Structures are given as C-alpha cells and as structure tokens.
A and B are shown apart, each in its own frame.
Chain A
Amino acid sequence: MRRVYLDNNATTPVLPAVLEAMQAYFAEHFGNASSIHHHGQETRAAVERARQSVAALLGCRASEVVFTSGGTEGDNLAIFGLVRSGPVQRGTARAGDHVISSTIEHHAVLSSCKQLESSGCEVTYVPVDGQGRVDPDDVRRALRPNTRLITIMMANNETGVLQPVEEIGKVAAQADVYFHTDAVQVAGKVPIDVKRLGCDLLSISGHKMNAPQGVGALYVRKGTILRPMLYGGSHERSRRAGTENVPGIVALGRAAELAREVFAHGDLERMAGLRDRMEQTILDEVDATGVNGAGSLRVPNTSSIYFDGIEGEALVIALDLKGLAVSTGAACSSGAIEPSHVLTAMGLSPERARGSLRFSLGKQNTAEDVEFALALVPSTVARLRELSPIYNKQAVSR
C-alpha cells in the first residue's frame, strides 16, 4: 500500500545527508568527547562543529548553545533552571516567584508550569484570540514585580500559528524579565534570529527538523545563570551533565546546515504553496469545514482543519487504514486522544475541537503526496458523516 506521511509536526524522517553525517560517529569515531586522546579529540571537534552550525541557525554564538535530549528537556531546563534559581543563590523553589505563560503551550511547558505551581510559584496563563494568537499587551498586563520568567512558544504545534514573540521580547526586556520561547515547531521552517526576538532562552528539537529523536538544543543567552537539572561531569559548560550524544549532535548540526540551505533555496515557499493548495481544495470540496488559525501568520507546513459532525479520531484511523498519516489533538499515555487544549483555548467548541485534523508537511513531501491526500480526505469525510449520528442530527435541524 502506498503510504503518505503528513504528520511532520509529530516527527520528521531523518534526511539522507543527515543520516550519512551521523553514521561515522557510531563505530568509526566513537570516542568520548571528554577524553584526552585522539578518539576524544575527534568527537569533541565534531560536537563543536555541530554547535557552530546550530548557532548559525539561531543567530547566536556557539558558546550559547547547550545540547539536550530534545524539546522537552530544553523547556524544562529553561523553566526550572531559571525559576528554581533565585536572584541570590537559593536552593529550592521560592514561593512568590511569578511566571507568565500561555494557554496553548506544549505540555513540556504546561506541565512544567503546573509543577512550579505545586511548589509554590504562581503562573499566569495568558489567553489567545480566536485566531490562536497571544496579545503582547496581555503579557504586559500580567507582569508583576516578582515576575521571573515569560515562557511563550514561537509557533503552536497544532495550528502552526506564529506568536508575536518579538513584541513579547520587548515587553520582557522593558520589564527586565527573562524570556524563554519554545521554538520546536519553528526551527527549520522559518528563519530564527535570537537577537531580533530578544529572548534569553530558546529550545529546539532535532527530530522536528530531520535529525533523529533524542537530541535537541537550548539557546542560553550569555550571562544567563541557569541551574542545571542533571548533576555529574562538567559537560556543556556545567549546564547539562552527561556524556554527549555525539551521533545525535552531529546529526542536529547537519540538519541545521540543511535548514539554512532550504531557506536560501526558497523551498519553504514551495511547501507553503502545497499547504495552501491542500487547504483550499479541502475547503472547496467539503462542506462545514474551516482552517483553525487561518487569520494568523503560520509556519508554512501546518494546517489545522475542522470537519463539523465527525470525530477526528475516527477520521485519523480511517485515513491511516488507507495510507494517509495525519493527526488530531494530543495523544495521551494510552495513545487515545484528548480534546485539544489549544483549539478549545481558541474558542472552538469541544465538538469542533474533536473534529479537527492536523496536516503537517515535511521537506520530503511532494505535490503527488498532496494529491494523494486530496483524493482521500473529502470522500472519507463524507463516509464518516453519513454514519455519524451527530452530523445527521445537525443536518436535520438545519
């Protein structure tokens, strides 16, 4: 069966050039980057080259890049690293610290904030408008004298909506509050320049940009004192103990280089064109649908579409059985789907949130892939609606 993968916001395939770059670091160049000898020097050099490449992608210095195990670790390190460390070296969470976040964050940030709350910190979750956007003025209004950190994502994983991070960065700078942004869904899709964003911390994840799972990076602006989460050796300038995941880091470096080439070649415009064509065709061919966050600037690969009167879960399964991989909501530990907190935060009814699907393109996707999706989606939606007690009731009452 032909299979087309349009779930690149969940994870991406490792690009051949990335795979090739990392392969030498399993058996051939296997040294511990901390070792003094030749083997160690080889891998140390590779790690530092990768750090340069990631720094170039983010617009920062190499010394400001900390390698992590992925986006979740980066988010956790940023949040707990800052909020747990008070202005004067304090040991534990200080009751009274205040954090500003948003209602549409990834669980890596949301659950970290919940954890802070349970240890005595206060967190304000600023809302989003109907187009999935945070208002920087809301962030400004949420500021308090004891606000320690603002953590607001750069683009949302479900809708692809880009947040006004530059303006939020200005709010943070004026108030002299640390600003962290989760840029996991941006890296490789839109150029990032941490200086322009004015952020102190920014997390990215390898597997969302064609490097493998299990590697990521956190930008830490020079001078930011971050309390580590892992204690051990003095790796990563004592900010993240543990022997480096050298093959992963090399892969992330290579993926960062390729991402910059993609920006230079205008491939993102091609991706946005495919996405827009897919969206428009679905809207034209299927009744009672709409694009969530369509009124906002979005990353070029993501499309969140609601289909009234159906359960997105059943649609995802039906499409998967026909070879098309897309997703809905956030999967919980069992693999079942919970209603999306992002879409409900945008004001969608629970029914509409449950009837929403996320299509996310990757660099490997072609026009034929989109045609494949377009050949399946309208007919499958029609079939589901035919069998849906909800949709028929709605149709009758109209």
Chain B
Amino acid sequence: MTTSRTIAVAMSGGVDSSTVAAMLRAEGHNVVGLTMQLWNQRRLAGHEGMPESAQGRCCSLDDVYDARRVAETIGIPYYVINHEDRFERDVVRPFVEQYLSGRTPIPCSLCNNHLKFDQLLIVAQQIGADALATGHYARVEFDEQLGRWLLKRPADRSKDQTYFLFGLTQDQLSRTLFPLGEMTKPEVRQRARRHGLALAEKPDSQEICFVPGGDYKNFLDAYLAEQGEALPDTAGELVTSRGEVVGEHAGIHNFTVGQRKGLGIATGSPLYVIQIKGDTGQVVVGKQDELYSRTLRTHRVNLIALENLTEPMRVAVRIRHRHQAASALIERAGDDEILVSFDEPQRAITPGQAAVFYDGDVVIGGGWIA
C-alpha cells in the first residue's frame, strides 16, 4: 500500500478499529471514519431485568463519543450512520425468532453479513471510498492461482474472528481490509498508545452488543413486551432420548444444546440438553456421552476459497467460536446444503450456530447448522 487511497474505516469506539483508523491515516491514506448506529439502548431501558440507563457495550453514546474523539485526535472526518431499521429486521428479529424456535443464534455473523459488509460497504463506496477497513482479526488476500479472494486466520490465533466472517462474498472481500491481521492484541494496544489514542487501555467488549449484561432471556422478555407481543408459550416436556418423560420446562428458549444447569431435575448423574425440538416443544436430555455426534448438516452455505464443492474434501471444521477445529469430510448434500462428517464425534453440535471449514489458515467456507 504505497499509493494513497480513500479508505472508510468501520469504527466501533473500541481499541481495534480505532487503531486501524490511526494506522491507515499514518500511512497517508484519506481515511473516513464511519460508525453504524444500530440499536437504541434506551429502547428497553426500564423493562424488567434491563438496566435503567443505557449502559450497553456497543452503539452506546459513550462508544460514539470515543470514536469521535479518536477521529478528532488523528484528524479524519467522521460520521454516524443510522441503520437501526435494518439491524432490527436482519439481526434482532432473527435472533429472537431463533431462540423461540429452539436454536442458538449468532447475531455477530448476521450483522457482518447484512450490515457491516453490506450496507456499510455500500455507503463506503457511495462516498467515494475504494475499500472498507475494519478492526477484525483476520486476513484477506488475493490468490492469483485460484483467481479468488481468500479469507485467512490472523497472526494472533487467540483473537481469530474468521468464524464470524464466513459469510463474506468475493465482491465483499475484494473491497475489505483487515489491517490487524498480522498483529497481536498487545501490539495493537502498543500502536494505539503510540498514536496517542486515549482509549488504548479500554477493555475489550465481550457480549452481544444489544443484550446488556449478556442475559438474552431478559432481552427476549423486554423486547417482546416492547413490541406488544406475548412470549409464545413454548413450555413442554423434558424427555430422554428414548422418549421417557422426566419432567417439564417453562419454554424452549431457556435452553441451549450442551447446557447442564437449570434443568430442574435431580438425578444421580449429571444431565445435559441433547436436543431441542422446536415443533413439539420437547427438550431432550441425556448423559454427557449422548451429546456427541459425528455428523451435521449445514445450509445457506457460503464458499470462499472454492467456486463450488464438487467432490468430498478433507477440512477442519469449527462448530462454534473458540471451538478447536476438528478434522472432517465435507460433501455436497443438496443445492444449498453440505454434509459434515467428523473423524471424531463432536460435543454439543448446536443448531443456529455456524460450521466453518478451514484448510490450514484458509477459510474454505461455511454454513448454518441445521
């Protein structure tokens, strides 16, 4: 990057994206800072179980304030763009519906697919930027031989965010920069300090940005109450895998596959949630070993390193963020479906999460676990 380009930076008000903006600016690019206003934290304030005031991590006024101060410090234009409607439609609603149908959603991936690398990328292009840079820990590069843009794991494996980025298309990747891909988090903080950014020591955000305190059940209650919708009655039976009824539960949204606590049944050996049946409202419980299975199906597949999966391929598959990638064979099982067969059974394969395929550092693609 020796020539000066116009680059939009998606700024969240955190250390990572702020440092990206400062680095690109220092390299002499025309940098434009953009923050998406996605969720009004005040909306659900005061509902039961929700904080009185807006103290959510993301999209809070504090974060916008921080991003604005960084922009001012490094001397770049900065704008806040309102995408609250899109965010509610494409991220919050599906998040709620997934839980209510017994699945465990990943809103961050939906946000990446529908907001950051879609809406924001369009705005970036519209305002004359050649590319959009973000503070994700990942690498993107063009492979001459394949003639394709590749998404790769970052140098700092502990911060690897490729799991959330499997949905990026070739077009999106071609316009995206991940300047932190070669850096470690301590190095990023070091750079932030060197650029005089006041937020260099700001703690990392951990939880889902629109769910304060990370309590999604309170969020579902508060959101549905705000919408004037009743929480659907999804109460039902707790059953064993042999169909034996061992108890009752108050609603399937209270469960995640692999969960042990809060089942409300006392038995000799610990019981886990094995499966959630959205259609019958049954929650299947069983022993630890029943949590393991060898295959899964993914749908709404996005392939990055391949145009198409024509024959079975050996890959490593992650079935949740921070999951240790496990060897598997992937093969096409339908138009938009891929069958994953692991060498070793995997614990708690969870519908609603993503299965992301890796070949070494390279993200082959991924899909949603059916």
Give Cα A371 to B133, complex, Å: 34
> Which secondary structure dominates where chain B touches chain A?
mixed
Chain A residue contacts of B82, Cβ below 8 A: 313, 332, 336-338
B80-A334 in contact (CB<8A): yes
B126-A318 in contact (CB<8A): yes
Residue interface bits A321-343, CB-to-B below 8 A is 1, else 0: 10000000000111111100000
- Given A317-B79, A321-B128, A338-B82, A387:B37 Cβ within 8 A: no
B122-A388 in contact (CB<8A): yes
Out of A315, A336, A338, A387, which one reaches B125, CB within 8 Å? A387
List CB contacts (< 8 Å) of B81-138 with chain A. Answer: 81-82, 84, 122-123, 125-128
A317-B64 in contact (CB<8A): no
A318-B64 in contact (CB<8A): no
List CB contacts (< 8 Å) of B43-97 with chain A. Answer: 59, 61, 64, 68, 77, 79-82, 84
Give Cα A304 to B127, complex, Å: 21
A336-B32 in contact (CB<8A): no
Interface size class of B (residues with CB under 8 A): 10 to 19
Give Cα A320 to B128, complex, Å: 11
Give Cα A315 to B37, complex, Å: 17
Chain A residue contacts of B81, Cβ below 8 A: 313-314, 317, 336-337
Give Cα A336 to B126, complex, Å: 17
Chain B residue contacts of A333, Cβ below 8 A: 61
A388-B127 in contact (CB<8A): no
* Residue A242 lies at the interface, judged by CB distance under 8 Å to chain B: no
* Residue A389 lies at the interface, judged by CB distance under 8 Å to chain B: yes
- Given A318-B127, A321-B127, A384-B126, A334:B37 Cβ within 8 A: yes
Chain A residue contacts of B35, Cβ below 8 A: 334
Give Cα A338 to B40, complex, Å: 11
**Nearest Cβ distance between residue B116 and chain A, in whole angstroms?**
15
A335-B128 in contact (CB<8A): no
Chain B residue contacts of A321, Cβ below 8 A: 32, 77, 127-128
A335-B127 in contact (CB<8A): no
Give Cα A397 to B347, complex, Å: 49
Give Cα A383 to B127, complex, Å: 9
B122-A389 in contact (CB<8A): yes
Chain B residue contacts of A332, Cβ below 8 A: 37, 82
Give Cα A138 to B6, complex, Å: 52
Chain B residue contacts of A311, Cβ below 8 A: 123, 126
A335-B80 in contact (CB<8A): yes
List CB contacts (< 8 Å) of A371-388 with chain B. Answer: 383-384, 387-388
Tell me which of A333, A336, A337, A338 has the highest count of chain B C-beta atoms within 10 A of its own C-beta: A336
Q: Which residue of B lies closest to A338 (CB)?
A: B82
Chain B residue contacts of A337, Cβ below 8 A: 81-82
Chain B residue contacts of A389, Cβ below 8 A: 122
Give Cα A313 to B34, complex, Å: 12
Give Cα A338 to B123, complex, Å: 16
Chain A residue contacts of B127, Cβ below 8 A: 314, 317-318, 321
Give Cα A73 to B125, complex, Å: 41
Out of B68, B77, B80, B126, which one reaches A388, CB within 8 Å? B126
Q: Which residue of B lies closest to A389 (CB)?
A: B122
Residue interface bits A292-317, CB-to-B below 8 A is 1, else 0: 00000000000000000011011101
List CB contacts (< 8 Å) of B149-187 with chain A. Answer: none
Give Cα A138 to B268, complex, Å: 74
List CB contacts (< 8 Å) of A337-383 with chain B. Answer: 337-338, 383
A334-B64 in contact (CB<8A): yes
Chain B residue contacts of A335, Cβ below 8 A: 64, 68, 79-80
Q: Which residue of A lies closest to B63 (CB)?
A: A334
**Nearest Cβ distance between residue A25 and chain B, in whole angstroms?**
31
Give Cα A96 to B136, complex, Å: 56
Q: Which residue of A lies closest to B64 (CB)?
A: A334
Tell me which of B80, B84, B127 has the highest count of chain A C-beta atoms within 10 A of its own C-beta: B127
Give Cα A389 to B125, complex, Å: 12
Give Cα A52 to B6, complex, Å: 53
**Nearest Cβ distance between residue B31 and chain A, in whole angstroms?**
11
Chain B residue contacts of A313, Cβ below 8 A: 79, 81-82, 123
Chain A residue contacts of B32, Cβ below 8 A: 317, 321
Chain A residue contacts of B59, Cβ below 8 A: 334
**Nearest Cβ distance between residue A164 and chain B, in whole angstroms?**
33
Q: Which residue of A lies closest to B59 (CB)?
A: A334
**Nearest Cβ distance between residue A121 and chain B, in whole angstroms?**
22
Q: Can you list 17 pairs linking A and B with CB atoms under 8 Å apart?
A: A311-B123, A311-B126, A313-B81, A314-B122, A317-B32, A317-B79, A317-B81, A317-B127, A318-B126, A318-B127, A321-B32, A334-B37, A335-B79, A337-B81, A384-B126, A387-B125, A388-B126
Question: B residues bordering A, Cβ < 8 Å?
Answer: 32, 35, 37, 59, 61, 64, 68, 77, 79-82, 84, 122-123, 125-128
10 A-B pairs closest in CB distance? A336-B37, A336-B82, A336-B80, A335-B80, A318-B127, A314-B126, A334-B64, A384-B126, A317-B127, A314-B123
Q: Apart from A317-B123, A332-B37, what are 11 other A-B pairs with CB-CB below 8 Å?
A: A314-B126, A317-B79, A317-B81, A317-B127, A320-B79, A321-B32, A332-B82, A334-B61, A334-B80, A336-B37, A383-B128
